[in-house]
Amino acid sequence: MADIETEIETSAAGTDDADRPLFQSQRQDEIAALAMRHGRVDVSAMATRFNVTTETIRRDLSELQSRKVLRRVHGGAVPWERLRFEPLLSVRGASQQGEKRRIGLLAAEEVPPSGSLLIDSGSTTARFCEALPRDRALTVVTNSILNAQVLADFEQIDVMMLGGKLRKNTMATVDAQAIAEVEQLTVDVLFISCDGMSIARGLTTPYRNEAMLKQAMIRSARKVIALVDHTKIDNDQLLKFADWSAIDVLITDTGVDESMLRSLESVVPTVRTA
């Protein structure tokens, strides 16, 4: 969703397009096209774009779901064929930048004075790496080349890279070699991300190797902290890699609604919002 806010502003600026009434089918076609382009649409953004109520957009999304065009998730919808859609990390990193930066800053408060960290790959964990305190004597293990590049500038931090085959979309290693290396570790704190989550299923990902690696990471850690922005909530993916009982701290952003926040607080010992 890197440019969807820009598209909304442009549409609103051009009153001929923004104010013209659309038939329901036309509006739904445009919503579907935006979802395919950006990977997700949000109810509030679509209501603003088309100058209709959020209830109207929710009805549109329900109709598109019934036709197996989109699949509804918390606060919006994603393409029905989501498992075939994976934006490059550079694209994912451009969406929810403010939220991810705040999550990273708050997560940095959970870093111990010394010891070992294991940091998962992902755009949110990359923001966390940027926010790490520079005065801590830490050993950091990561499967992400991008995380390692950020941490290379931290004089007090020793960086260890997990080996294996590089997954180019995420610039991270996720194969059997990476899993085998993680299984030899015991770390103080794991900072982990996910592609989706729900109260019913826990944390999920579409990818088998990533699910297996994340499970190994969780087994290796004394404490597990999940960094999850609000767009991942109620956005279940194919494979579950963690029950809520495996998570000690969940850090998310203020885009989570109150009812969902209460539900999260009922299954995770500590929930923090950035």
The tally of domains found in the chain comes to 2
Is a pLDDT exceeding 70 seen at residue 185?
yes
Q: What is the CA radius of gyration of the chain?
A: 20
Q: Which of 24, 54, 83 is the last residue of a domain?
A: 83
CATH number of the domain to which 157 belongs: 3.40.50.1360
pLDDT (tens digit per residue) in 93-132:
445 678 999 999 999 999 999 999 999 999 999 999 999 9
Choose one of 83, 114, 141: the last residue of a domain: 83
Q: Is the pTM of this model over 0.75?
A: no
Final residue in a domain of this structure, among 67, 83, 99? 83
Which residues, 6+ apart, have CB-to-CB distance to 188 below 8 Å? 112, 115, 116, 117, 221, 222, 223
Structure tokens given for 22: 């659309």
79 and 93 housed in the same domain: no
CB 227 within 8 A of CB 192: yes
pLDDT bucket at 57, cuts 50 / 70 / 90: very high
Range of the domain at 242: 89-273
177 and 79 belong to one structural domain: no
Both 147 and 172 in one domain: the answer is yes
- Is the same domain home to 9 and 79? yes
pLDDT of residue 35: 84
Do 200 and 105 lie in one domain? The reply is yes
Q: Answer yes or no: do 98 and 229 share one domain.
A: yes
| DSSP character string of 163-178 | -S-EETTTTEE-SHHH
The reported pLDDT for the residue numbered 83 is: 43
pLDDT of res. 160: 98
**Residues 108 and 194 occupy one common structural domain:** yes
CA atoms within 13 A on the CB side of 146: 21
